[in-house]
Structure 1
Amino acid sequence: MVIFMPQKNPIRIQFSTACKLLDVTRESLRHTIRRDPSFPRPIKQGTTKQAPVFFDYQELVDWHNSKKEAAAAPMEA
């Protein structure tokens, strides 16, 4: 018998939750999506213009950690 154990972290999060998690405004997050090719691509649920947008939680965490590591690395001349 397999028992489903809920994950501690969510699989996906809403756009507004991603803003809260990263402590940025909606416009700042939109800007990051457009300008940073390493930022995780949003996942649209549906084909309509008003369909909700989600992000993969682990991809956001990995992106954030890579930015932290890059900032902590010593600058090369």
Structure 2
Amino acid sequence: MHPTHPTIDQALIPQTEVCKAIGQTRSGLDKLRKKDPTFPKPIKFSNSRQATAYYVIAELNDWLAAKIKERDA
């Protein structure tokens, strides 16, 4: 039996890279998350407020695809 490994769709990206990818500051990303309930929720590996937030790349890609589809409709 082969060990189960996460696929690339389950890969994580840190919040700082998400900000760069979508051209937002951290506060801009926070505003986007509050304004758009469809934006993916972050994952944290600690309860600390300062813990790094990560996002599932597949969820971000799905969100972006939906926004493009919405725009082109």
- State the TM bucket, normalised to the shorter chain: 0.7 to 0.9
Q: In structure 2, how many angstroms separate the alpha carbons of the residues matched to 1:24 and 1:71?
A: 19
**Pairing 1:1-77 to 2, within 5 Å after superposition:** 2=2, 11-73=11-73
Secondary structure of the 1:41 match is coil
| TM-score computed with the length of structure 1 as normaliser | 0.78
Give the superposed CA RMSD.
2.1
Question: Of Structure 1 and Structure 2, which has the larger fraction of its residues in helix?
Answer: 2
Structure possessing the higher radius of gyration over alpha carbons: 1
| TM-score computed with the length of structure 2 as normaliser | 0.82
2-11 vs 33-42, which moves further = 2-11
Unaligned runs of 5+ in 2: none
Unaligned runs of 5+ in 1: none
**Structure showing greater relative contact order (alpha-carbon pairs closer than 8 Å, 6 or more residues apart):** 2
Aligned length: 73
